[in-house]
Amino acid sequence: MTTALDQLKQYTTVVADTGDFQQLAQYKPQDATTNPSLVLKAVQKDDYKPLLEKTVREHASKPVGAIIDQLLIAFGTEILKIVPGRVSTEVDARLSFDTKASIDKAHEIIKLYADHGISRDRVLIKLASTWEGVRAAEVLQKEGIHCNMTLMFSLAQAVACAEAGAQLISPFVGRIYDWYKKAAGSNWDEAKNGGENDPGVQSVRRIYAYYKHYGHKTEVMGASFRTISQITELAGCDLLTISPDLLQKLADSNDKLERKLSPEASKNADIPKIAVDESSFRFQLNDDAMATEKLAEGIRTFAADAVKLEKLIEALR
């Protein structure tokens, strides 16, 4: 019988969400995404310590930030030997509110990939979906550097990214779900708030419908999944980036999977247009407690993991 993973691939481009590239081949994903947290998790495994040690040894005279860049590119290069498409490599989260620094870091990352013989069309630069990150993406896209806008929790962020011409966005399904579940506390009803009613699923569906209705070319890639249901309810989304454990569950399942999202269904929908300039972007984000809190928390977490990675590298020098 056809597995759920194979069925999903009929409607959606499947992307692996991991720094553990040794797990990739068995799932045959088109692309792969990484972030500092995933790379930090990978280099603490025995299988990847040699790659960490080799990178530190070969670049020991460089600043620790430059060594981290080399490590990210080392992982990205290995991933691109396995996936036929693109790898996403993240700009340091500590630059999330600095447009120029984000652009400069993106240029450095693209150059390092080029030094390894990898063209920019196989790389997506991940930027936080702050106003400053969106403006950085606008500049980079015009230069032919493709961007993946991450830490996305609201339609306002999505619209700003599309209008800036970003290649791809990564709305976070699971983290939205986490927020609403925590906020509800003992009143949370999983049966009522799961499946198609999952708040994270609904967020991605709104963004997808808006993009298709207004003809935005930016790709929608659902991310940060907690359950198989969150994935199957978004079958038909442009892309879905999925962790290895959930990829395995899909590969082990023969349950029938149906397409839930399609461009045609959004064309004639009644979807009001949203105006997004800097002031309205900031107000709409501020007016959404979930998006504001999860964006801030995500930046803090990625920044903290970058610091942990720096300390790990310093200990090896």
Which residues are designated catalytic?
126
Tell which residue, 255, 232, 235, 231, has the closest CA to residue 243. 231
Q: Could you tell me how far CA 312 lies from the centroid of its own chain? A: 24
Report the SS3 class of residue 204.
helix
Tell which residue, 158, 85, 141, 80, has the closest CA to residue 113. 80
- Contact yes or no for 151/128 (Cβ under 8 A): yes
Residues 6+ apart with CB under 8 A from 226: 173, 174, 177, 178
Distance CA 45, CA 43 (A): 5
Kindly give the residue spans of alpha helices, DSSP state H, lying in the chain. 4-11, 36-43, 49-58, 64-80, 99-115, 131-142, 155-163, 173-184, 190-193, 199-214, 228-232, 244-252, 263-267, 278-286, 289-316
Distance CA 188, CA 34 (A): 32
- Cα-Cα-Cα-Cα dihedral sign, residues 63, 65, 67, 73: negative
In which residue are the tokens 């500590």 written? 94
In which residue are the tokens 């620790």 written? 64
Structure-derived torsion over alpha carbons of residues 103, 109, 115, 119, reported in degrees to the nearest 10? -80
Q: How far is CA 44 from CA 16, 20, 39, 101, in A?
A: 19, 11, 9, 29
Q: What single letter denotes the amino acid at residue 208?
A: Y
